[in-house]
Amino acid sequence: MSADIAKLNKQVEQFCGSPSSLFFSEAQELLKELLKALCCEEDLLKRNKLEQLLGVVRRSSEADVSTYAHVLDAIALEEYEAGDVDFAECLFRRASDLVDDHSLNNNLAYVLRRKGHDSINRYEVITLLLPGVQNRDPFCLINMGLLFALGFSTPDDWKTADDLFALLPDEIDGAVSWWERLGKNNDSEGYLVHFFLLRHGKIEHSSLGSIRSVAARLAKSMDGFPEWLAKDYAIETLNDVVECMADPDFDSILENFLEKMPRSRESVDEMLEVVSSWDLWPVYDKLLTDCAGFLSPEELEKLKADYKKTFSVPLPDEEE
């Protein structure tokens, strides 16, 4: 017997001798070491050790099996976050096989779904998620919606995804923060989830932006984002822009809109209405430069007076 196998024998016996120790971090580190050695090797003796380990767990009490499965799931999530997707998938599968649990099935489905559209078995993902969807589990509903929107991707599939997000319960804090983090890491999926949550009133605000700015971002960055969704939240007026005021990228949204805004009396009326309520320097600047010729003398005088009261920088036509 090789030294490696002898060491594995000792570690397996150590682990199986005290399954309740899984509550301690030392035991979880030992379990991770065992799983890495056993799951990722083709050596038959090591595979036999893995089956021995799992056999002992299966013969333990139901509570021990459940504890083992959830610790396995936690280790898998840690490895997924570290970037070892294949090893994480292996562990998620082991956990899901041991215990019939919505959260375990969901985590495996999440990893499978995100591996890539060409390599996943979409119907396996549906099978894993369906019981949780029927029980209105938030993560299962969201993952099923994303599978239809991003995996199948036909117009009808996007409508199905929209319907699934509408079924979400009110208490979804964990799901909100998970996909918020994805969005902050510049992952479009995070923005898509928060778009649907805003659309269906599941959250009132998102740190990723207002529904209009999120929709505009998705329309530009995501292939296949439906025109009917983008159109519902298109930024078409200056008041639409003002709705995005709390957005992290509000300044660029406003700047881009003003740059494309035609020089006309209609635009002037729209901008005057906005500056009557909001102190937005770029709008004042647009009025006093590009659109000054459309202002009446009275409007121009009042606008300059308001500008001097509001801003410390000189008027656009004055030298510093």
Structural domain harbouring 247 = 239-310
Q: Does position 155 have pLDDT exceeding 60, yes or no?
A: yes
Q: Does position 4 have pLDDT exceeding 90, yes or no?
A: no
143 within domain boundaries: no
Q: Does position 233 have pLDDT exceeding 80, yes or no?
A: yes
Question: In the predicted model, what is the mean pLDDT of residues 88-96?
Answer: 90
User: pLDDT band for position 228 (50/70/90)?
Assistant: very high
Q: Does position 67 have pLDDT exceeding 60, yes or no?
A: yes
Residue-level pLDDT at 68: 78
Percent pLDDT > 90 in the chain is 66
Question: Rounded CA gap, 13 and 27, in Å?
Answer: 12
285 within domain boundaries: yes
159-181 residue pLDDT tens = 999 999 999 998 899 999 999 99
Question: In the predicted model, what is the mean pLDDT of residues 147-165?
Answer: 96
248 within domain boundaries: yes
Q: Does position 138 have pLDDT exceeding 70, yes or no?
A: yes
Question: Rounded CA gap, 145 and 164, in Å?
Answer: 6
Residue-level pLDDT at 1: 40
Residue-level pLDDT at 50: 58
Question: In the predicted model, what is the mean pLDDT of residues 73-81?
Answer: 90
Q: Does position 10 have pLDDT exceeding 80, yes or no?
A: no
263-319 residue pLDDT tens = 999 999 999 999 999 999 999 999 999 999 999 999 999 999 999 999 999 998 775
290 within domain boundaries: yes
Instruction: Please state, rounded to an integer, the average pLDDT across all residues of the chain.
Output: 87
305 within domain boundaries: yes
Tokens at residue 107, please?
Answer: 């985590």
Question: In the predicted model, what is the mean pLDDT of residues 10-26?
Answer: 63
300 within domain boundaries: yes
264 within domain boundaries: yes
Question: In the predicted model, what is the mean pLDDT of residues 4-31?
Answer: 64
What SS3 string covers the chain? CCHHHHHHHHHHHHHHCCHHHHHCHHHHHHHHHHHHHHHCCCCHHHHHHHHHHHHHHHHCCHHHHHHHHHHHHHHHHHHHHCCCHHHHHHHHHHHHHHCCCHHHHHHHHHHHHHCCCCCCCHHHHHHHHHHHHHCCCHHHHHHHHHHHHHHHCCHHHHHHHHHHHHCCCCCCHHHHHHHHHHHHCCCHHHHHHHHHHHHCCCCCCCCCCCHHHHHHHHHHHCCCCCHHHHHHCCCCCHHHHHCCCCCCCHHHHHHHHHHHCCCCHHHHHHHHHHHCCCCCHHHHHHHHCCCHHHCCHHHHHHHHHHHHHHCCCCCCCCCC
Q: Does position 41 have pLDDT exceeding 80, yes or no?
A: no
153 within domain boundaries: no
The total domain count for the chain is: 1
Tokens at residue 28, please?
Answer: 């979880």
